Amino acid sequence: MGMTMTQKILAAHAGLESVKAGQLIMANLDLVLGNDITSPVAINEFEKNGFNGVFDKDKIALVMDHFTPNKDIKAAQQCKQCRTFARRFDITNYYDVGDMGIEHALLPEKGLTAPGELIIGADSHTCTYGALGAFSTGVGSTDMAAGMATGKAWFKVPSAIRFNLVGKLSPLVSGKDVILHIIGMIGVDGALYRSMEFGGEGLKNLSIDDRLCMANMAIEAGAKNGIFEVDEVTLDYVNGRVNRNFTVYAPDADAEYDEVITIDLSSVKPTVAFPHLPENTKTIDEITDKVVIDQAVIGSCTNGRISDMRAAAEILKGKRIADNVRCIVIPGTQQVYLDCIKEGLAEIFIKAGCAFSTPTCGPCLGGHMGILADNERAVSTTNRNFVGRMGHVTSEVYLASPAVAAACAIKGYIGDDIFE
């Protein structure tokens, strides 16, 4: 029996001719990632175990993005610990305030992730890099510590679900709507410890930003990873960014899948995930009872890229945010921030009444820059809407695309007429 893309990458990095689902392997790592929340725990474990060196200073990335610029003394201490560690071991890819971005937007932009690579990160949304045809997955801080020291990690080889994409997205529909549609279909445990593999003739109609968004949220279906077949769209993106050799892997024709699901992109509609799970989805035309909102957040590692900013700006141009609604726009990286200024998007946001922020994960995890009070509701382009995710335990988060979030911010509610 043949292998999936994920299985081929794992086999190659384990030095094996083939692997099969359920097999335990030790594999070599191409990149180990941590942020200002998870890295301090990993550094403590690293030091507790007596490690006195990293396996490769060029293959570790530390990104200060969650509580930065530092929101309090504890956040400042965490960043200081990461900064000290990076200086001690001369970590090449250390990103701090003024030279950073939200990690899963920043690393692809910087060319640190490439097709065929094996990447772990002490952050659950590390699965983002599967958009480029890499195997990437989130791990705990202890595994991050071991990875930084040895350049290796243990894996159980996952089985896979194949998503066969056909058709083309309609106007105002994006990758965010597609992945919410899929999670609504299979559930938050529908891909539990499995690989979500995307391919098909419709793949060419998804931009790299659509794919990064979809791979980012594979974990919200319980997946070990999400991964996209490499095509011209992928290669156009990495060309000029990635300055090293990489290997493109394709699934075997006889690869074994637990199931194959066909997704007609043309049938996907603007979709919103209601509280308190990403699977609790409704299409816009199904929302006949208006949901009044207090806040809208446009950004995050899911939807903070320049195409997301453009989509929101197109809706907001010449309009004003509704009374009693706070709209917070957060570009994913410094480059996206700069592009927003150059393209006039920042002016559109500010004139519409939005707060326009330096890159940060901030509100997504209830950290800072947009915490919700009791009983408040937010529509957000982030990736999770669990109880208390963005603030008070009685607050509610509704997940949506940048276009939907912007339209809701103008109307002051989520409803079937937001684009009218």
Q: Which residues of 242-269 are buried (b: 16+ CB within 10 A; e: fewer)?
A: beeebeebebeeebbbeeeeebebeebe
Distance CA 340, CA 187 (A): 35
- Note whether 251 and 391 are same-domain residues: no
CA–CA separation, 265 and 257 (whole Å):
21
Strand pairing report for 413-414 and 291-292: antiparallel
Can you tell me the distance from the alpha carbon of 76 to that of 348, in angstroms, rounded to the nearest whole number? 33
Amino acid at position 308, single letter: D
C-alpha 416/C-alpha 285 separation (Å) is: 5
Blockwise average pLDDT, block size 10, the chain, 420 residues: 95 97 97 96 95 96 93 94 97 94 96 98 96 97 96 97 97 97 95 96 97 97 97 96 96 95 97 96 95 97 97 97 96 97 98 95 87 96 92 96 98 95
User: φ and ψ at 202, to 5 degrees?
Assistant: -80, -10
Output phi, psi for 402, to 5 deg. Answer: -60, -40
- The answer to whether the beta carbons of residues 170 and 283 sit under 8 Å apart is no
Q: Report pLDDT for 94.
A: 97
Q: What angle, 0 to 180 degrees and rounded to 10, lies between the N-to-C axes of helices 334-342 and 306-316?
A: 40
CATH number of the domain where residue 282 is located = 3.30.499.10
CA distance 325 to 337: 23
Are 117 and 243 contained in the same domain?
yes
Statement to judge: residues 217 and 277 lie in one domain: no
Residues in the chain: 420
- If asked whether residues 386 and 350 sit together in one domain, one would say yes
For the chain, the domain total comes to 2
Mark whether 132 and 222 lie in a shared domain.
yes
Secondary structure letter of residue 276 according to DSSP: T
* pLDDT of res. 223: 96
Is the domain of 59 the same as that of 208?
A: yes
Token match 């003024």: residue? 98
Question: Which residues, in sequence order, are CB contacts of 258 under 8 Å at separation 6+?
Answer: 159, 160, 161, 194
218 lies in the same domain as 283: no
What's the whole-model pTM score? 0.94
Shared domain check, 377 and 229: no
Return the sign of the alpha-carbon dihedral for residues 264, 265, 266, 271.
positive
Q: In this structure, which amino acid lies at residue 325?
A: V
User: Considering only CA atoms, which of 131, 152, 139 is closest in space to residue 30?
Assistant: 152
Domain range for 276 is 271-414
Q: Are residues 226 and 314 in the same domain?
A: no
Residue 168: predicted pLDDT: 97
**Which of residues 229, 247, 265 is at a domain's end?**
265
Q: How many helices (H) and strands (E) does the chain have?
A: 13, 20
Domain closes at, from 219, 241, 265: 265
> Pick from 237, 265, 293: which residue ends a domain?
265
* Whether residues 9 and 116 fall in one domain: yes
Is 36 a member of any domain?
Answer: yes
- What does the pLDDT read at residue 1? 77
